[in-house]
Amino acid sequence: MKKLIIICCVTICCVLMGSASAFAQDAEGNEAYAKGDYEQAVQHYEAALAANGESSEVYYNLGNAYYRLNRVAPAILNYERALLLNPGNKDARFNLELAKLKTVDKIDDFDNFFLFDWWRGLQNWRTIGQWSSLAIVFFILFLACLAVYLFSRRITYKKTAL
């Protein structure tokens, strides 16, 4: 039992030290960005992504650093990556539109059918976690209505459960 506790403590400490180093890379990137050293900030943000994996905030910050360096294409790419991970990030969406205004080759979008725009807006209304929570709530509600319908003796309860 003691060996198991020691192994768990050592594993937790190793994981925390690894995430602390990735957090330090992100913090160093923020400091370099605040000082105006955008090349150094890009290096720190990319190191944080390599060490810690994908993060909407780091992609957003990386996009900002690329935008400040007048490298519009990587800025747009990182803003779009940030929006894929967090579709509700209004700052990333605004900065993406701002970066698209600086592109040289402007391609105008043709007007979409209004249902496609509505569907895309509905998808981006909530994050994946919020949609899954909503689905779980509705599934539990469905099971409750099914139980009332199957096990109720009164006809009014059965009709209400439908």
- The angle subtended at Cα 45 by Cα 71 and Cα 92, nearest 5°, is 60
pLDDT at 123 over 90: no
Between helices 38-52 and 56-68, what is the axis angle to 10°?
Answer: 160
Provide the sign of the torsion angle of the four alpha carbons 9, 47, 55, 31, taken in this order: positive
Residue-wise pLDDT tens digits, 50-90 = 888 888 899 999 999 999 999 998 999 999 999 998 888 88
pTM of the model: 0.57
